[in-house]
Amino acid sequence: MYVVHLSTAPGLAAVGQARSAGQGNVYAETCPQYLFLDEHKYDDDREGLKYIMSPPLRPAENLTALWDGINSRQIDTIGTDHCPFFFAMQKQRGREDFSLCPNGAPGVETRMRLLFSAAICGHISLPDVVRLAAGIRRKSSAPRIKATLRRVLTLIWCCGIRLSEAKSPAAICTSGWIIRHMKAWKPSESRC
């Protein structure tokens, strides 16, 4: 079973219970927005439309639980379904009735940068970036991990992240980068 878009501590606990009960083929995935954003993004009546997604953003305590799940290897990968919508043209349809707002947020262009930023901030290690980006199973051979590391480092390079930018967490944060497909709006900005 592959659990997608894990966003809550109870959901993570259910994954752990299934594995403890002997269900070895249970894999969990979360997305960057559930690691960096919480339900307070909905407090702004106008900007909150940007964050209509499924599942919705959750209370802040879930972020800590998900980071703990990553570090305890209960979460196997961080993905994105990448549902970009133009805020001014498409998301605004939900201004008066949120049910008319398209559901989803961009993520493919920021996922690797956010993972790398999380490593620089100390939330995860660089090997965790590789494991999470590539979806490496809990029991992988050293040659497979080494080959995957090369692919992930290539992805990081292709995303424009240079190790010289890693002098501080702020240098990796996405706030200064233009996200081309959304005309500069992005759902996640890295924070330490």
- Give a yes or no: residue 187 inside a domain: no
Q: What is the pLDDT of residues 56-97, one digit of tens each?
A: 999 999 999 999 999 999 999 998 877 878 888 888 888 888
Name the more confident of 165 and 70. Answer: 70
For residue 46, give the CATH number of its domain. Answer: 3.20.20.140
Query: What confidence tier does 7 reach under pLDDT thresholds 50, 70, 90?
Result: very high
Query: What confidence tier does 174 reach under pLDDT thresholds 50, 70, 90?
Result: very low
Residue 108 has pLDDT above 60, yes or no: yes
- Give a yes or no: residue 190 inside a domain: no
- Give a yes or no: residue 122 inside a domain: yes
Residue 189 has pLDDT above 60, yes or no: no
Query: What confidence tier does 190 reach under pLDDT thresholds 50, 70, 90?
Result: very low
| Angle, CA 74 vertex, CA 73 and CA 80 arms, to 5° | 95
Total Cβ atoms within 10 A of residue 110: 26
- Give a yes or no: residue 8 inside a domain: yes
- Give a yes or no: residue 68 inside a domain: yes
Torsion from C-alpha of 18, 22, 27, 32, nearest 10 degrees = 40
pLDDT the model gives residue 181: 38
> How many domains would you assign to the chain?
1
- Give a yes or no: residue 64 inside a domain: yes
Residue 166 has pLDDT above 50, yes or no: no
- Which residue range is the domain that position 112 belongs to? 2-182
| Angle, CA 64 vertex, CA 62 and CA 68 arms, to 5° | 115
| 141/32 Cα distance (integer angstroms) | 27
pLDDT the model gives residue 85: 82
Mean pLDDT of the residues in the chain: 77
pLDDT the model gives residue 29: 94
Query: What confidence tier does 137 reach under pLDDT thresholds 50, 70, 90?
Result: low
Cα 175 to the center of its chain, rounded Å: 16
- Give a yes or no: residue 191 inside a domain: no
